[in-house]
Chain A
Amino acid sequence: MADSLRTGGTSLPIGSDADLAWVRQEVRQAAAELGFSLVQQTKLVTAASELARNTLVHGGGGELEITRLDRGSSLGLRLCFTDNGPGISDIELAMTDGYTTGGGLGLGLSGAKRLVPDFDLVTEPGAGTTITVTAWVYTVPSARLEAP
């Protein structure tokens, strides 16, 4: 994203269940500070929770990099989940609703993709997985209160 200006990033380790709670808190705080609406915040935090759990369970741990984006007209948040795990051999299958290898509902990856506007997955068997999601603050025009 050439037009976006990186304004500071933080890196969080993902190595235990406690780290997942930490990730959720940090993402929620970053999203709130940037002015994301409550619904957007909730979606972003939930997506982060799913992806961080994937990093932990399937990737054997990794890290999350939170980057605040500024492209002048609007602010955004980029979350980059990286692990050095076994990678995903069949992306299409992994993205299918209900497909799971971890005993969950099989909605983590596909659900997270639906929750964020921009979802990018890079993986190679044996070389780990990197998932980058980006969301921009959009403001709904407020209802007009003027008298008819």
Chain B
Amino acid sequence: MSEQDAAQEAAEWVGAFLTRRREQIAQRWADATLFRTVFTLSRDESVEACKTVIDALATVATSGRLDDITAPAFGTVRDQLGRMAASRAWTGSSSAQIADEVADLREPVTSVLREEVTDQSDAAAQDSLLALTVLMGTLRLVIMETTLMAGEELIERQRQQLMEVATPVISLWENIVAVPLIGTLDSARSQVVMESLLDAIVAQRARYAILDITGVPTVDSLVAQHLMKTVAAARLMGAECIVSGIRPAIAQTIVQLGIDLSSVITRATLADALAYALGQQGVEFSSGPATGAGTR
């Protein structure tokens, strides 16, 4: 019998073993940290979850693809494993801790296997134990990979959300819209800002658009260029742009950098910008105390 045949036979044996001792392994796994802490509702729920994983492992073993993390049988439990890992991560476990908890699942299975095998020195028994160890290692990899992918998806989703959330266009007054810019203004963000601002200018028939940069920590030449392009585009649509929220430190930095913002109307605060826009439309405010009707 060739080595390959022996490995295949061992894999199949492990598959059959997992199916045969499914109940027993599930009972032991249900008490392991990974399952016990995730399925807190009832022990039965935990046992059921264990069985699903064991079934998947048995199918993988029978197909002989012990070290293949892309084995189709893993697909059926990938979701469940991902949720379990996410739930552990949610309660503050690090990836290393989760990996350890998955590794802790190996001992219960191998001890069940040892109970079955009377002659430990038998070559076939050794092969089976090795096959099982490889399979459990693959399970660990699958869980870690699922965790990482979930993390990446989450980051990407949050990035998208941030992009949209951070650029609301606010209608301040008739014909006046404002965009409070917050955070880093990179090329992608400023593109979103420009688009939503231009849309709002059309939709609200705005004549004045205020770009408030109070929440932008750093204004370098690229950010300034983005601002100027946005102002130029708004101007083409017939709206006048006012850049507000220029703090003293930013003002000094812009001057030393050599950025020429003289073509842009700027104000220190959003209130000043609004007052300017209102004044341009002929709306006047008195700065004195409010006067009631009839007083002179």
Q: How many residues of B contact A (CB 8 A)?
A: 21
> Cβ of B259: which chain A residues have Cβ within 8 Å of it?
105, 107, 111
A21 located at the interface, meaning its Cβ lies under 8 Å from any Cβ of chain B in the complex: yes
> Cβ of A46: which chain B residues have Cβ within 8 Å of it?
218-220, 253, 257
B188 nearest in chain A by CB position: A17
Looking at A41, A49, A53, A97, the one whose CB has the most chain B CB atoms below 10 A away is: A49
A114 located at the interface, meaning its Cβ lies under 8 Å from any Cβ of chain B in the complex: yes
Judged by DSSP, the binding face of B is: helix
The docked-state distance in angstroms from the alpha carbon of A115 to that of B217 is 16
- Please report which residues of chain B, range 178-201, place their CB below 8 angstroms from some CB of chain A when the two chains form the complex: 184, 186-188
> Cβ of A115: which chain B residues have Cβ within 8 Å of it?
253, 256-257
* CB–CB A17/B217 < 8 A: no
Shortest CB-to-CB span from B182 to chain A, Å, is: 13
> Cβ of B248: which chain A residues have Cβ within 8 Å of it?
39
> Cβ of B172: which chain A residues have Cβ within 8 Å of it?
none
> Cβ of B249: which chain A residues have Cβ within 8 Å of it?
38-39, 41-43
26 contacts between A and B (CB under 8 A): A20-B186, A21-B184, A21-B186, A24-B184, A24-B217, A28-B217, A39-B248, A41-B249, A42-B218, A42-B249, A43-B252, A45-B217, A46-B218, A46-B257, A49-B222, A50-B221, A97-B258, A104-B225, A105-B259, A107-B257, A108-B220, A108-B221, A111-B256, A114-B256, A114-B257, A115-B256
A108 nearest in chain B by CB position: B221
A49 nearest in chain B by CB position: B220
Shortest CB-to-CB span from A46 to chain B, Å, is: 5
A132 located at the interface, meaning its Cβ lies under 8 Å from any Cβ of chain B in the complex: no
> Cβ of A111: which chain B residues have Cβ within 8 Å of it?
221, 256-259
A110 located at the interface, meaning its Cβ lies under 8 Å from any Cβ of chain B in the complex: yes
* CB–CB A53/B258 < 8 A: no
